Structure 1
Amino acid sequence: MRFNTLKVGLATLIAALPTLALAHPGHDHITSFSTGFMHPMSGLDHLLAMIAIGLWAVSIGGKALWAVPTAFVGTMIIGGAFGMAGLQVPFVEQGIALSVILMGVLLVGSVRFSVGTCAAIAGVFAFFHGAAHGMEMPLSAHGAEYAIGFACATALLHVVGMGLGKVISRIEAPIVTRITGGVIAAAGVMMAIA
């Protein structure tokens, strides 16, 4: 059975839209989910890293197609729990910036390790992103619903990256992946020095 990345991405987005429309008071559980969902979408660093994870997973192929994004989302939730619990995670912002830079470099170099190593790399990066999400959770948000929101948004961004990777592979232009990686790495450097 073939997996259609675009269809899954669109279905996820459509499923999330009704919750985003309920902005008036009295829907605290929806607000918590929506706030969590929008958090990864609101920062270029998160957007670039999460799209890059999906793109990298497609460029590696095989079991990495699911192992890498799954490791990212799972470890990000653990990092989010650390942040929500108020535990100090050192170098969060630097870890996020470094994740963007290194994801770009991995794409530029078409780097392929074992699936376990790739999943571990994604997990290390994800921990910092999750910690940032958790530390920035509004006090009024319900933790579990907020976490479900940022996990869904992250998965959606991975699907966007995977869709981009599938398009690139269909047109047989791997140079596009490398150029995209270069842009992502350069953006990460700019974020790190800003």
Structure 2
Amino acid sequence: MRKLSVLTLASLLTVSTPALAHVGHAEHGSFIAGALHPLSGMDHILAMVGVGLWAAALGGRALLAVPAAFVGVMLLGFVMALFGLPVPFVEPVILASIVVVGLLVAIAQPVPTAAAAAIVGLFAFFHGHAHGAELAGNSAFWFGAGFALATAFLHAAGVGLGIAMGRFMHGSAGVRIAGGVAALGGVLLLAN
């Protein structure tokens, strides 16, 4: 089972689209465009599933609090971008979030839920800002609702994957391997 999971993740990395897979401005502004956006690039998928994996690895209150903090602060970053707040290094921080969260999953160091929520919240602000900066005046509400829902879905997929791996793969070993693979994927995306 462990080999299958690692092979599946490795396969996804090799067939991924490049990082920064953001659709053009003309396609933004609808609920569907917002919902598809987090599913459009490996950078989004690795980051969002990684947050869910970390929440699963931490367990307890983190199962809900960590993904909820990400979505909430992501929406704050989105709104700040709509108001024109300039933020430097958005794309590098987004890619760094994959590496950092993946490593946090891989090392399996216990972290208080509030600290984990703060860490993902910091990265979430940059993710949200990227979405808002690209919107270019279209329908912010529906686009924001779409990408928030898709992000929550990817977090839930990560939580579910983490819980399943924890049950069926000798405890945290599978989750830690998945975190390491996600971190490696982030490094590869940073190198592009």
Q: TM-score, normalised on structure 1?
A: 0.80
1:50/1:154 contact within 8 Å kept:
yes
- Which residue identity does 1:178 align to in structure 2? R
Inter-partner Cα distance in structure 2 for 1:112 and 1:149:
32
Match of 2:144 among 124, 142, 147: 147
Inter-partner Cα distance in structure 1 for 2:100 and 2:180:
10
CA shift, 1:190, in A, is 1.3
Inter-partner Cα distance in structure 1 for 2:88 and 2:65:
26
2:77/2:132 contact within 8 Å kept:
yes
Inter-partner Cα distance in structure 1 for 2:84 and 2:106:
36
Runs of 4+ in structure 1 deviating by more than 6 angstroms, as ranges, are: none
1:33/1:149 contact within 8 Å kept:
yes
Inter-partner Cα distance in structure 2 for 1:75 and 1:42:
21
| Residue segments in structure 1 that go unaligned for 5+ positions in a row | 1-30
Query: Who is 1:124 aligned against?
Result: 122
Inter-partner Cα distance in structure 1 for 2:177 and 2:59:
19
Inter-partner Cα distance in structure 2 for 1:47 and 1:137:
20
| Partner-residue secondary structure (3-state), 1:88 | coil
Query: Who is 2:101 aligned against?
Result: 103
Inter-partner Cα distance in structure 1 for 2:35 and 2:136:
13
Query: Who is 1:113 aligned against?
Result: 111
Inter-partner Cα distance in structure 2 for 1:51 and 1:67:
15
Inter-partner Cα distance in structure 1 for 2:176 and 2:31:
35
1:75/1:123 contact within 8 Å kept:
yes
Identity in percent: 46
Inter-partner Cα distance in structure 2 for 1:72 and 1:146:
17
Query: Who is 2:54 aligned against?
Result: 56
Query: Who is 1:157 aligned against?
Result: 154
CA shift, 1:181, in A, is 1.0
Deviations 1:7-46 (A, max 9, x none): xxxxxxxxxxxxxxxxxxxxxxxx6111111111112111
- Which residue identity does 2:140 align to in structure 1? G
Are 1:70 and 2:68 matched, yes or no?
A: yes
CA shift, 1:112, in A, is 2.0
CA shift, 1:85, in A, is 2.3
Inter-partner Cα distance in structure 2 for 1:168 and 1:80:
33
1:112/1:118 contact within 8 Å kept:
no
CA shift, 1:137, in A, is 1.8
Between the two proteins, the alignment pairs up a number of residues equal to: 164
Q: TM-score, normalised on structure 2?
A: 0.81
Query: Who is 1:93 aligned against?
Result: 91
- Which residue identity does 2:112 align to in structure 1? S
